[in-house]
Structure 1
Amino acid sequence: MSVIKSYKDLLIWQKGIKVVTLTYQLVKSFPNEELYALSNQLKRASISIPSNIAEGYGRNTDKSFSHFLDIARGSLLEVETQLIIAKELGFIVDEKLYQEILIQIEEESKMINAFSKTLKTNH
């Protein structure tokens, strides 16, 4: 296994960035009246995922990192919920992109859970 020199080396952070970029792509097609509502909320929640992973990594303790992973997981579930709402409201026009984000969210959730468990067993 390679040595982690930076939070950018963490696969959970990289996957979080992927969720952000896909989310931004998807919300481009939302109605204009959603620009400052659901669209903005989705962007903010998605950005929170890799941001909290980075912040937790920077705290230099497993306990603190674990706490920030919990926050990142919460943001991930927030994004998933908001995407479901957007789908129900008929805002999703690219079904393939929507499904890809859901897959990325599921993978990210599993990765965060596994990583978090390793941190919790270390202390």
Structure 2
Amino acid sequence: MARHNFQKLKVWQDGINLVSENYRLTRTFPNFEKFNLVSQMNRCAVSIPSNIAEGSSKSSDKHFKQFLETSLGSAFEWETQLIVAYNESYLDENSFKDLEDKIHQLQKMLGKLIDNLK
């Protein structure tokens, strides 16, 4: 039995929403990025809520925290890839700022959840 119901966690819900936004975004990238930046961004985006879900099944807060830290690492990695995509002009400034705000919110939520488990 899961210790935490991951589907009720706002951070997981926001992570799932980011995955959808990420897929919409990466579908617009140039074809030559399919196996490079697109693939990497998709894996990172999916990793964020996936690690929250996997960690929620663990029997201790210590183990849950480790998965949350992995999720946070993926969030920072995805932010870096978003910056790369913006620098390559794959998205406009408004879209970039919107997604940047969303990933920063996710990072803050994950950080607070990690801090609360200490």
Q: Same fold (TM over 0.5)?
A: yes
Q: What residue number does 1:32 align with?
A: 31
Q: CA deviation at 1:101?
A: 1.4
Q: What residue number does 2:57 align with?
A: 58
> What TM-score results when the alignment is normalised by the length of structure 2?
0.92
RMSD: 1.4
5+ residue gaps, structure 1, are none
In the aligned structure 1, how far is the partner of 2:34 from the partner of 2:4? 38
5 Å-filtered alignment, 1:1-123, equals: 6-92=5-91, 94-120=92-118
Q: CA deviation at 1:83?
A: 0.6
- Contact 1:12 1:112 (8 Å CA) reproduced: yes
Count of aligned positions: 116
Instruction: Among all aligned residue pairs of Structure 1 and Structure 2, give the percentage whose two residues are the same amino acid.
Output: 39
- Contact 2:4 2:57 (8 Å CA) reproduced: no
Q: CA deviation at 1:36?
A: 1.1
Q: Deviations over 1:26-66 (max 9, x none)?
A: 11110011011101100000000000000111112100010
Which SS does the other structure have where 2:70 is aligned?
A: helix
In the aligned structure 2, how far is the partner of 1:23 from the partner of 1:96? 15
